[in-house]
Amino acid sequence: MSLQRAASMRKAKLMKRSKGDIIFDAVIFVILTVIFLIVAYPLYFIIISSFSDPAAVAGGMVVWIPIKPNLRGYEEVFRNNAVVRGFLNSLLYTSVGTLLNLVVTLPTAFALSRKEFQGNRFVTVFYLITMFVNGGMIPTYLVVKSVKFLDTIWALIVPGALGVYNMFICRTYFKTNLPNELIEAAKLDGCGNTRFFVSIALPLSGALIAIMVLYYGIGHWNSYFSALLYISDKNKFPLQLVLRSILIQNEAQLAQQGVSTAQQLKEQARRRELVELMKYSLIIVSSIPVMIIYPIIQKYFVKGVLIGSVKG
């Protein structure tokens, strides 16, 4: 009987929908579908192009489906040992760098979120200034050189150990989600600030930590300019710099080739098509870790970022 009543109530709700509501929902659905296709098609195009025949990609014949599917682009990419080495280097830099970011950012944000912290306002303003004013590229390079960080992992992760914007997000999150009553109750039980932070604040901030891992991790993974400045040993290049070097090297070889016969002209055209195909394969290779981790952490966005940024 209850099932019949629920079904009748559901049917009544559907009948109450006016024609204007249905038209409005249909228009919104069409608009969102079009926006989704506009956003998703470039990624889809890159994927199908990376599996297509080089001549078809260069000729603009790849539109909706791969043409003569093959793995030639990926074979050319992974044939170079530097790609695998760069992939492992990027994993190392991203893992260590993200861990250091969390170790520095979270305690700093927690301390600044507490009103009883002496000098709270001064330190907050000091950090705020650094968001708009910095020493510049050359002074930073001289500092990195003076502490002997050149050609080391520390040159890539120590200068950016604290992201001030991310620190303010964490600070706001701690202020809005860790009430003073909770801290006072913990202190009555003999809990100090350090123990409160480790035993209570961090376990209650899982969503925030996940968001910070995503923000910092993607930043380290996509970074190449710092390595371009501070790393000269090719064995320590991150993946992004390796891929950049491969593309530049291939294009330079094409530009230096002299064409004197029809066979050489044909070979140069084939090589140019392969370089074009490798661009798409390199994009997919460098995006795989982000594609894997983003769907896992994406569910924390609303719970983590919005709570920490909307409330003040």
The pTM for the full model equals 0.72
DSSP state of 132: T
Where in the chain are the domains?
76-240+286-310
Q: What is the pLDDT of residue 172?
A: 85
Residue 274 has pLDDT above 70, yes or no: no
> Which of 12-26, 95-109, 234-248, 261-275 has the largest mean confidence?
95-109
d(CA 142, CA 164): 22
Q: What is the pLDDT of residue 87?
A: 82
DSSP state of 17: -
Query: Which tens digit of pLDDT belongs to each residue from 151-204?
Result: 888 888 888 888 888 888 888 888 887 777 777 777 777 777 778 888 888 888
Q: Where are the alpha helices (DSSP H) in 153-312?
A: 154-157, 164-177, 180-188, 193-196, 206-222, 225-230, 239-256, 262-297, 301, 307-310
d(CA 38, CA 48): 16
Kindly state the helix (H) or strand (E) to which residue 68 belongs, with its residue range.
none
DSSP state of 72: H
Who contacts 293 (Cβ-Cβ below 8 Å, separation ≥6)?
A: 214, 217
- Judged by average pLDDT, the poorest of 56-65, 148-157, 224-233 is 56-65
Q: What is the pLDDT of residue 312?
A: 42
Handedness of CA 172, 173, 178, 183 (dihedral sign): negative
Query: Which tens digit of pLDDT belongs to each residue from 112-159?
Result: 888 777 777 888 888 888 888 777 788 888 888 888 888 888 888 888
Q: Provide the CB-side half-sphere exposure for 261 (13 A, CA).
A: 3
Helix, strand and coil percent figures for the chain, each rounded to 5: 80, 0, 20
Residue 299 has pLDDT above 70, yes or no: no
DSSP characters for 158-203?
Answer: STTS--HHHHHHHHHHHHHHS-HHHHHHHHHTT--HHHHIIIIITG
Q: How many residues would you count in the chain? A: 312
Which superfamily does CATH assign the domain made up of 76-240+286-310 to? MetI-like (1.10.3720.10)
Residue 310 has pLDDT above 50, yes or no: no
